[in-house]
């Protein structure tokens, strides 16, 4: 069953926390902002324009509101606390971060549990042999699962609920597969012992 992983040689299991990548500003957006701002000459011209305005004009400028601004204020009041797109994005990013933290904790706990169970089940076996099986078979399998969960967490168009379900499913499958792996290790060890007895 685990023949696919036999050739791979990987030591240790990835218990690194799951991370999400958040898209930031691209370099082109940053440069366009710099261009719009202008240089030193433009800054000086802005200062002279501001100095020309009288206190009265400044006051009226502050008091003035366009119809559009007033309309958006009214809409905000009538919406009854509906969240803007920016607020929704911030909330979903926060929820995703919390899911990453929760998943990382569950992952670390399950790996620790598996390690303890493996040590308990293989304590009567050759330590070098059982360690080799763990590193070349199970560690590689778990690394693949870690990568799959990480990729699902980073799918931007995937709803949060679906991500939770997929992660939960993969964690359950991993636990089930671990018991199959333990049985396979025990079977291999028994076979090894039988062949030793036949030789002697």
Token code pair at residue 100: 């990453």
CA distance 65 to 84: 21
What string of pLDDT tens digits covers the 200 residues of the chain?
Answer: 232 233 333 456 666 776 666 554 333 343 333 333 444 444 455 455 555 555 556 555 556 555 556 555 555 555 555 667 666 666 678 888 999 999 999 999 999 999 999 999 999 999 999 999 999 999 999 999 999 999 998 888 888 899 999 999 999 999 999 999 999 999 999 999 988 888 76
Q: How far is CA 111 from CA 26, 42, 124, in A?
A: 38, 60, 21
Tokens 């499958």 correspond to what residue?
A: 173
Three-state SS string over 93-152 comes to: HHHHHHHHHHHHHHHHHHHHHHHHHHHHHCCCCCHHHHHHHHHHHHHHHHHHHHHHHHHH
Instruction: Give just the sign of the alpha carbon dihedral 19, 115, 184, 176.
Output: negative
């Amino acid at each position: 069953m685990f023949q696919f992983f036999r050739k791979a040689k990987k030591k240790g299991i990835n218990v690194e926390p799951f991370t999400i990548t958040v898209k930031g500003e691209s370099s082109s957006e940053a440069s366009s902002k710099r261009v719009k701002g202008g240089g030193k000459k433009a800054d000086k011209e802005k200062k002279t324009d501001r100095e020309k305005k009288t206190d009265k004009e400044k006051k009226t400028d502050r008091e003035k509101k366009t119809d559009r601004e007033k309309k958006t204020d009214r809409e905000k009041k009538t919406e009854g606390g509906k969240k803007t797109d920016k607020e929704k994005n911030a909330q979903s990013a926060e929820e995703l971060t919390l899911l990453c933290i929760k998943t990382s904790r569950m992952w670390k706990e399950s790996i620790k549990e598996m390690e303890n169970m493996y040590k308990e089940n293989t304590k009567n076996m050759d330590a070098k042999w059982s360690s080799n099986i763990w590193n070349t078979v199970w560690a590689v399998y778990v690394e693949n699962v870690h990568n799959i969960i990480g990729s699902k967490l980073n799918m931007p168009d995937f709803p949060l609920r679906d991500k939770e379900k997929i992660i939960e499913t993969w964690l359950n499958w991993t636990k089930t597969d671990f018991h199959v792996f333990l049985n396979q290790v025990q079977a291999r060890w028994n076979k090894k012992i039988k062949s030793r007895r036949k030789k002697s």
